[in-house]
Structures are given as structure tokens and as C-alpha cells.
Amino acid sequence: MSWVSDYKYTWAEQLAMRTLRACGHIPNHVAFVMDGNRRFARSQQIDKIEGHSRGFEKLADCLRWCLDAGVREVTTFAFSIENFKRSNEEVEGLFNLAREKFARLLEETTRLNEHGIRIRVIGNIELLPLDLQKLVASAMLSTERNDKLFLNVAFAYTSRDEITQAVETVLRHGSQDLAAEDISERLLEECLYTRHSPPPDLVFRTSGETRLSDFMMWQLSTSVLYFSNVLWPQITFWHFLASLLAYQRDRWQLEDFRRTERMHSYQLAKTSDFYSERVQKFLATIDEDRRKLLVRLAAN
Amino acid sequence: MIEVLCLLLGRILLLLVGGYELIWRLRERLNALVVRWSYDLWRSGMARELHERRVLADCRSQLTKTPQHLVLVISPMDTGVDAVLVRKIFDFALDVGIKHVSLYDRRSKDHGYVDLAEICSTTSEEQGSCFKWPPIPSASKSETQPKNGQKTNGYVNGANGSHSPQFQLYQISASDGHALIADVCRELYEGRETPAVQNLLKQKREALTEQITGMLNKRLGFEAPEPDLGIIFARQTCTYGLLPWHARFTEFHTHPSGRHFDVETFANILSKYSRCEQRWGT
């Protein structure tokens, strides 16, 4: 199964997709909390890992829909740090699935490059087994020049860990370059794993849960949250469409709030010298260090 | 040709959505007017109170779990929430035994911002963003305040399993979100050469996470558990920047602006909360 499926649209779906695109206001960035794989497996009396595998197939469909709808960035919550608490068998099964999918991704790099898809894994990848770290790093490096669709896979991720990582980065790397007054929420935002991504416009969680489970808590303060009762492996094009319609309905009501937040962020950047040479130098160092880490992991 | 058709369909769809929104709003307004009117007209204050107590007692008996910490999120565009409704919700929460309630109102003072200091009619002795509900009468304040001067978190009254006759109330502001985390980072950065911070950096990341949690709680002035239930008063579901560090496992329920909120609404939200299962990653 490829990372982007060859989904065959029915004529009704094709018409709906074109109509939606003609209406405009397609979200730039959609984040998915892919919940319900295990409940789906239980309901179908299949193995948990098979449930996760079906979930991945749906992700491939979803990526196709996003690509065709004009969504530029997709973030998916694949594996939380909290999931390490699951049974060894299930965790190992999930890692095997990830190994298989990332190995497949490396095989089909040409196809991803054709679509211009860049894969980024966000999370504490050093918590993963070494061979998986290598695959993840290689996948990120091999697609790093693409810029048509960004796929961020949150793996070994929690929001708290991400924010702690940002604080840690400032404490470890800021010594020479930064002044205490330079530290603001604007700077911390740039130290998150999602440094080069806009905040999600729409967060879509399946399986009827109405919590965020420590996913992108910093970034989603202005996002439209959409909760659906469908289990992730059962998601269809029409559920996806419903979420886009909900976004189109709700976005204009959030626009004033978003504008105010953007203005606040801009003012903050000015007052905290965000655009100063020393801060930009510090941020460039972070980018350089992160890339060096990927190169090192890929070479292991 | 097909493009023109799609464009036309798109415009019709937008018009339908706009029309639906308008009808929905009118319906909600009418509903709120009728429900509120009939509610007030047909029930005396005493009868209303009895009805509310009965509904809450039924609700309490059916709940398998009660939230420890309820947070009310009021969107910047909301016009339906005022001090009267907030007080009413506090009374409902008190009745079902919730021990901590927070209010996160994103409106400005000119647009209906509810100030807990006014609702709780505090004296200068009660400072910051922590209050108690029902407010402590000034005369008995010295008797009820903890001897060590610490703010209590409301658990003492509920220690025997019964609900507390008074709970802890907090006002959360926009600056308690991202800005507070940046503030903590700044303080750590200023002390980066100290052995304490250097030691944190040598340990696993969890140690720094714990440190940040402690520093944030100190700044927020409360030691409440993380919010487990959030009611968002808005047409659309959004966190509006609510405590990114603390609201990670909060179950959100959106109550559309303009819709009447009464004891049945509150009981329904608690029932839904009671039915949901937190798996904590497992």
C-alpha cells in the first residue's frame, strides 16, 4: 500500500470535490487524530495490528483527498509517547508496521517527488528503536526538497514533550546568542517541531472522543476542532468532505479572533527583537543541528 | 462547462449554508426566548430551585464519575453568557460536587467579560485569580481560611466522599497560556548556569517537564488537577488558547452561543462526560 493511494472517485465524489474547490476556503493545514483502529479491529474481530494497518490504508486515501482538494499540509497523530504504555506485543507490532511503511516510502521516493510530497516526522524520534530512527531520518532527508504537500507524522509525540523540547533547546543552545528579553512565546513557537509549519486550520478527530489527547496543544489555539463519531478505518470521502464544510462554515466566525492573535504575535515579535540578527542566528543554528541529527541517524 | 456547473453548485451550497445558519440562529433565539420566558413565567423561584435540585440529584446518582475540574471557555464573540448564567453554573457545579471550576473568558470588558472578583465580591484580602464559591462572608472569613496561609484546593471538604459545600474558583486569562510558558522558560534561562538547571539538563526530559509543571502551577496560583471537562460557549469548537500545558486531556463540550443553558443542559453534559472512557494511551 502506497503512502498516497490511487483512490478512484465516483462521479458524485468528483462533482462534490470540484464544487468544494470552486467554493474556495480550503484549509491550508489539516491535522488528523486517527483514533478508533483498535475499536474497529474489535468490532470486526480482527487482530489489533490489522486494525492499525487498515488505518494506514485510510491515511493513504486521506492524503489523496487532501492533495486533490488543495490542502497544503497534513499532520497526523500516529503514535503518542503515552502509547509506550501499551503491551510490548502491540508496541512492537506498531513499530513493525512503521518499519514496513517507511521502507516502502523509501522505495517510492520517486513517486513522492513527482507529487512534491515532503515527509516530516515530528516527535522525540530518539525514543524509537535504532533501525526505525534510521528509516525515519532517511525518509525525511530523501523528501526534504519537496514543497507541494507536507505530511507531518507525529510519532513518539506529545505536546508536553514538544514544548519541553523547545524550552530545552533554548536552555542548551541559547547561551551564546540569546538575551533573556529575546525569549517570548514567538521564539518558543519557532523552537517547536513544527517550526516551519503554519498552525492547523482544522483538527479532525475520529471515534467520537472530544479531547485532544496532548496533540499540538500549542499550535491549535485558533483551529476549528471537528469531532466525528466514525472510527478512523471507516472514514469515507464524505466524512472528509463534511469536515471541510464545517471548516468553511466556522472559519469566518473565527477570523476576527485569528486576526487579533496574528497582530498580537506580530507585536510580540517586534517588542522581543525576534527579527534581530542574534535571534535569527540562533534559529538557523537549531535548523542546522536538527539536520545534522537526521544525517547522523540516517548514517547509523 | 463542468467548471461553471461546479461554481454554480458551490454558490448554491454557500447560500444554503448561509440560509441554514440564519434559520438556526433565529431558531435558537426564539427557543431561548420561549424557554426562558416559560421557565420564568410558569415556575416560581422556589419551584425552579426544587426542580433544579431534583434534576441534579438524579444526575448525581447516575454519574459513574464526576469531573474534578470544570473549565468554562467563553469565546470572544459570545453574547449569551453573563454573570447570572455563570453564577447559576457555579451553583450547579457545587450541587454535583465538582471541586474546582475555572472561568476562561476571552471577551473584552466592553463585550460582556465576566469578572470573578465582582461576582465573588472580594475584599482586598482575597487577591489574585483564586476565589471560593459560594463567596465567604467577610465576618466568617478568618474562621474558614487555612491556618498556614496556603490556598486550599477544595479536597478537604470532600474527603469523606460527599460533595464539598464550597469549591475553588479560578479566573484564567489569555496571558496564562503561551505567555506563561515563555515566562517560565525565561526564568530557567536566566538561571541556566546554576547547578539546579544544569542538573535538569543532565537528566531525562521528564525532569524538565516536571519542573515546568511546578513553575507554571506556582504562577497560576493554583494546585488544581488538570481540567477534565470543558464547556465551550461558542458556535464553533475551538480552545481559544486555553492553557496549552494543562488542557491536554480535557473533554470538550461545545454549547452553541445563544442556546438556552439550564439545569438539564448541565446534567446532559455531565452524563456525556461520565460515559466517555479515558484510556491514557493504553
Q: What is the pLDDT of residues A187-231, one digit of tens each?
A: 999 999 999 999 999 999 999 999 999 999 999 999 999 999 999
For residues B250 and A211, is the Cβ–Cβ distance under 8 A?
A: yes
A177 is catalytic: no
- Judged by a CB distance cut-off of 8 A, whether residue A22 touches chain B is yes
Q: What is the per-residue pLDDT across B185-198, written as a single tens digit (0 to 9) for each? A: 999 999 999 999 99
The pLDDT, as a whole number, for residue B146 is 41
The ipTM of this complex is: 0.94
Total count of domains within chain A: 1
A187 is catalytic: no
Cell 472512557 found at: B277
Between chains, do A170 and B185 touch, taking CB under 8 Å as contact? Answer: yes
DSSP structure class, residue B111: G
Options A59, A112, A135, A149, the catalytic residue: A149
The pLDDT, as a whole number, for residue B161 is 45
- Rounded to a whole number of angstroms, the distance from the CA of B245 to the nearest CA of chain A is 6
* Host domain of residue A52: 24-299
Between chains, do A213 and B249 touch, taking CB under 8 Å as contact? Answer: yes
For residue A90, being part of any structural domain is answered with: yes
For residue A7, being part of any structural domain is answered with: no
B-facing residues of A in 190-219 (CB < 8 A) are 209-214, 217-218
Of residues B167 and A239, more confidence is placed in A239
The pLDDT, as a whole number, for residue B282 is 65
Mean pLDDT of B8-25: 83
Q: What is the per-residue pLDDT across B214-252, written as a single tens digit (0 to 9) for each? A: 999 999 887 789 999 999 999 899 999 999 999 999 999
- Judged by a CB distance cut-off of 8 A, whether residue A161 touches chain B is yes
Between chains, do B10 and A159 touch, taking CB under 8 Å as contact? Answer: no
For residues A123 and A157, is the Cβ–Cβ distance under 8 A?
A: yes
Question: Is the domain defined by B43-275 classed in CATH 2.40.10?
Answer: no
For residue A250, being part of any structural domain is answered with: yes
- Rounded to a whole number of angstroms, the distance from the CA of A250 to the nearest CA of chain B is 6
Between chains, do A224 and B250 touch, taking CB under 8 Å as contact? Answer: no
Helices (H), ranges, chain B = 2-42, 45-62, 83-96, 116-119, 141-144, 178-190, 195-202, 205-220, 263-275
Backbone angle region of A179, left / alpha / beta, with phi > 0 → left and psi within -120 to 50 → alpha? beta
Q: Classify burial at A242, counting beta carbons within 10 Å of its beta carbon; exposed 0-12, middle 13-18, buried 19 or more.
A: middle
CATH number, domain containing residue A114: 3.40.1180.10
Show residues of chain B in contact with A158, CB under 8 Å: 248
The pLDDT, as a whole number, for residue B39 is 62
Between chains, do A256 and B21 touch, taking CB under 8 Å as contact? Answer: no
Nearest CA-CA partner of B130 in B144, B138, B120, B140 = B120
The pLDDT, as a whole number, for residue B137 is 62
Q: Which sequence spans correspond to the domains of chain B?
A: 43-275
For residue A13, being part of any structural domain is answered with: no
A115 is catalytic: no
- The beta-strand segments (E) located in A38-196 are 73-80, 117-122, 149-157
